[in-house]
Amino acid sequence: MLMIDTHMMNDTREICQELQDTYAQLTNLLVFVTNHEGQLITAPSNIDDASVFDKYGSELQNMFKTEIDKLQGIRHTILSDQWVPGVKWLIAPVSVDQSDTGMYVWGGILIQQGTLQSIITHPNYLQPESGAPADFIELMRSWIQNTGEISPDQEIFKREKITKFAKALSLILKSSFKENRLTQRLNALNETLITEQGVGNPIEEITRAVLASSDLADVFGFALKTAPGKYTIMNSMGMNSGTLGGSIFHEGEGFLGQAVLSAQPSRWRDISRDPRNHFFQQKGLDSVYEVQCFPIRYENEVYGLLFGLSFKERSTPSINPQFEETMISLMGWYIGNHITYEKMEKQLQRFKPLIELSRMIISVQDIQRVMFMLVDMSLNLVWNPSASIVVHRSSEDGKIQMVARGMQSPKGETYAKDIARRYLDNSDKPGASSFINSSTPFSLMLEYPIVYADRTRAVLCVAVSNEQEGEECREILSALAMMGSVVMKSVHDRQQYLSNSNRFAHILHEAIREWNVAHYQLTADAQKIVQEFAMWGGIIKEEAEVIGRACLMSCTDPSMLRSFPHLFQQEAEMIEDYKHIQDDQSILGTGSYSKGGQIMALAFAIATAGDHDMRVVNDLQINGVDQGLVSQFRLFVLSRHTLQTEINLVEEKAPATKTLTAEGAEGRGLDAIVKQFGLSPREKEVLELVVKASSNKEIAATLFISEHTVKNHLTNIFNKMGVTDRAQAIAAVFNKSIG
């Protein structure tokens, strides 16, 4: 029952009172207005002494209430003489909603022509046992006696006027009621929006609050897109709506699924026999009459749906339905806007760190390090990190490299092979776009081909929790994969550059053989010494590569070398310095020449001495070469001499090793040693590098560990193998390989 009287504002009450008094005067009737509880809403009209109504308020209210209870359901003005037989009252209902009567207009007294005498002479005429207070009975008596009899025409006139007054009252109250409810609604909305600002994750709370205070429907729901074409009801409120939460529907499926395809709000009425109603019936909502849907959109993208369910027809909604529909449509737009903002915010939060990362990653010159970074950084960038893998094919020998986190063998390897088969085998058609793969042993995987040098050479694959997250992460991961492409291309170009440099250097070197075999051999020896110096730890590997090439091309005119675009610039400078050192006898130990030139001078000095290098080195002193470098080289030659001696001893003990390659040793001897002595995978890697004559420093650099850790590994390896030094360990591996 609507308590419309509570919405009667003061100014409205005054207008109603004025109208009531006017109609009372026009009809010459006593007129009251009560609510459905029998309480007087306005002051009685046409009554001289109304104090009795104040004095006996509750008793009179009971009288009216008793009468109202008998009149439940009346829609038109009626005549009643329940209180005193023959003394009639017009009773007109006042309704705001057709289904609910909120107030009643009472108009009296009407006494038909020729009946007054029989009324007042009736034995039960206004007896005290009627329940009414004595003062009121006395008042009634005076009203009846002062009321004249009326003709049927007069009765019809009075009935029409009282009916019109009730209708006018109804219109005024409807307007007032709507205005009042609208004010309340706006206040509630305002309060909700102010209160919810700043609360964590407010969007669902605001939606809940806004929908809960709407009377457009009995049940409201809030569904979000959780995957392309798939929606999940996140929130529901209203009678028996709890079962809706968590329900899933798809685009085009049922009322809700059809609504998300529409750009406009949708409405279906009288759906009880519609098969699409089955979705709600399954959730225990058996008697849905009407469905109203408001898509949550922003620009061209649908993010979800707000919907309302009504269980009965609302013939005259109490609040302007257009306002409510507009309000909820705006709410949908607001949510869509909010979701877009959140999505962009998430991406922006990651783009800034990604740009920072690009500054650091660009200097990496090792493919495996790039793979490490791609795997770890991808996990930093996705919303819900769980697994990532990078598969890389570096050569044409059917072997691939993989670096993975969150996935282990053998599933990881199986997936890596699948990736290689789909992306890396098809070398003619580099695929550049990402792909969401749902048929993996893991969760959904976002796969990004990494293309450089006209081929797909690697693939970055990152697990995402659902397709929606995949869509949202796609761009940021694409940027990371693109960055990986650039860095891998840089490493690839550098390798190509080195490969080309080495190839040209060897061609020039071979050319020397034609006219000077002795110098050909000398330059080859000098290059070998430089490489050994690097392995010993005197210089880094990359530096040794350049100096080694300079040694090979030392007979070539530096100006001719400079004519190669982007090649041999450093080598030409070194050769020039080396030649100046050779020619210049005036400068001693100043080190003003390039380090490469100085090392060349030292390497050629040792190479020229041949087997007598130990004797040479003791007197080693070259003009223009830094004394510190000379001392370092002296130590190197000393250790080189010792190492060669050790190797010779081993060779004497096991001559067959001369024919073995390091790869052969790794293939058979190493595996056998690992198996026999129970070496860990890390120890195996260390031993493998020891067999390849890597120094501790080089092993540390290759495996990304400290030299101290290398020494620890070596100690453990020696203990397990029962050997005392690396030479014995190498010998054991070689022995195993021929055993």
Interface with another protein, residue 349, by CB under 8 A: yes
Please tell me the distance from the alpha carbon of residue 119 to that of residue 506, in angstroms, as a whole number: 138
**Selected binder of another protein within 28, 66, 145, 414 (CB under 8 A):** 414
Interface with another protein, residue 413, by CB under 8 A: yes
**Selected binder of another protein within 709, 716, 723, 738 (CB under 8 A):** 709
**Selected binder of another protein within 200, 360, 559, 659 (CB under 8 A):** 360
Cβ–Cβ < 8 Å for 252, 287: no
Q: Phi then psi for 87, rounded to 5 degrees?
A: -95, 110
Q: Which is nearer to another protein, 301 or 475 (CB)?
A: 475
**Selected binder of another protein within 7, 283, 405, 713 (CB under 8 A):** 405
DSSP 621: -
Q: Which is nearer to another protein, 375 or 458 (CB)?
A: 375
For the bound state, the minimum distance from the C-beta of residue 197 to another protein, rounded and expressed in Å, comes to 16
**Selected binder of another protein within 112, 368, 716, 728 (CB under 8 A):** 368
Q: Which span sits near another protein by CB under 8 A: 146-154, 351-359, 460-468, 565-573?
A: 351-359
| Number of Cβ atoms within 10 Å of the Cβ of 6 | 10
Q: Which span sits near another protein by CB under 8 A: 13-21, 305-313, 378-386, 525-533?
A: 378-386
**Selected binder of another protein within 305, 377, 487, 600 (CB under 8 A):** 377
**Selected binder of another protein within 16, 90, 173, 404 (CB under 8 A):** 404
Cβ–Cβ < 8 Å for 737, 663: no
For the bound state, the minimum distance from the C-beta of residue 586 to another protein, rounded and expressed in Å, comes to 45
Cβ–Cβ < 8 Å for 144, 120: yes
With vertex at residue 591, the alpha carbon angle to CA 585 and CA 597, rounded to the nearest 5 degrees, is 80
Q: Which span sits near another protein by CB under 8 A: 301-309, 354-362, 442-450, 727-735?
A: 354-362
Written as six digits, the tokens of 281 are: 């019936």
Interface with another protein, residue 715, by CB under 8 A: no
DSSP assignment of 493-524: HHHHHHHHHHHHHHHHHHHHHHH-HHHHHHHH
Binding marks (x or -) toward another protein, 155..174, rule CB under 8 A? --------------------
Binding marks (x or -) toward another protein, 664..703, rule CB under 8 A? ----------------------------------------
Interface with another protein, residue 453, by CB under 8 A: no
| Number of Cβ atoms within 10 Å of the Cβ of 444 | 18
Residue 457 CB contacts under 8 Å (≥ 6 apart), including other chains: 392, 393, 394, 424, 450, 451, 488, 492
Interface with another protein, residue 348, by CB under 8 A: yes
Q: Which is nearer to another protein, 319 or 458 (CB)?
A: 458
**Selected binder of another protein within 40, 373, 473, 630 (CB under 8 A):** 373
Interface with another protein, residue 420, by CB under 8 A: yes
Strand order in the sheet with 301-310: 248-250, 230-238, 219-227, 301-310, 290-298, 266-269
Nearest CA among 464, 481, 446, 444 for reference residue 385: 464
Cβ–Cβ < 8 Å for 362, 487: yes
Written as six digits, the tokens of 93 are: 């209902």
Interface with another protein, residue 457, by CB under 8 A: no
Cβ–Cβ < 8 Å for 470, 435: no
Interface with another protein, residue 425, by CB under 8 A: yes
Please tell me the distance from the alpha carbon of residue 340 to that of residue 361, in angstroms, as a whole number: 30
Q: Which is nearer to another protein, 376 or 543 (CB)?
A: 376
**Selected binder of another protein within 406, 430, 589, 591 (CB under 8 A):** 406
Strand 444-452 versus strand 435-437 pairing type: antiparallel
| Number of Cβ atoms within 10 Å of the Cβ of 642 | 10
- Grouping H, G, I as helix, E, B as strand and the rest as coil, residue 260 is coil
Q: Which is nearer to another protein, 185 or 405 (CB)?
A: 405
Q: Which span sits near another protein by CB under 8 A: 104-112, 195-203, 355-363, 436-444?
A: 355-363
For the bound state, the minimum distance from the C-beta of residue 434 to another protein, rounded and expressed in Å, comes to 21
Please tell me the distance from the alpha carbon of residue 731 to that of residue 651, in angstroms, as a whole number: 9
For the bound state, the minimum distance from the C-beta of residue 452 to another protein, rounded and expressed in Å, comes to 20
Please tell me the distance from the alpha carbon of residue 574 to that of residue 567, in angstroms, as a whole number: 13
Please tell me the distance from the alpha carbon of residue 479 to that of residue 485, in angstroms, as a whole number: 10
Written as six digits, the tokens of 689 are: 């590098």
Cβ–Cβ < 8 Å for 206, 192: yes
For the bound state, the minimum distance from the C-beta of residue 396 to another protein, rounded and expressed in Å, comes to 10
Cβ–Cβ < 8 Å for 392, 375: no
Interface with another protein, residue 380, by CB under 8 A: yes
Interface with another protein, residue 609, by CB under 8 A: no
Q: Which span sits near another protein by CB under 8 A: 242-250, 268-276, 416-424, 529-537?
A: 416-424
Q: Which is nearer to another protein, 476 or 620 (CB)?
A: 476
Interface with another protein, residue 398, by CB under 8 A: yes
Q: Which span sits near another protein by CB under 8 A: 307-315, 417-425, 536-544, 594-602?
A: 417-425
Please tell me the distance from the alpha carbon of residue 529 to that of residue 236, in angstroms, as a whole number: 79
How many residues sit in the footprint of another protein (CB under 8 A)? Answer: 44
Nearest CA among 154, 168, 169 for reference residue 26: 154
**Selected binder of another protein within 141, 417, 474, 528 (CB under 8 A):** 417
Nearest CA among 288, 284, 297 for reference residue 247: 284
Per CB under 8 A, residues contacting another protein are 348-350, 352-353, 356-357, 360, 368-369, 372-373, 375-377, 379-381, 385, 393, 398-409, 412-414, 416-417, 420-421, 425, 704-706, 709
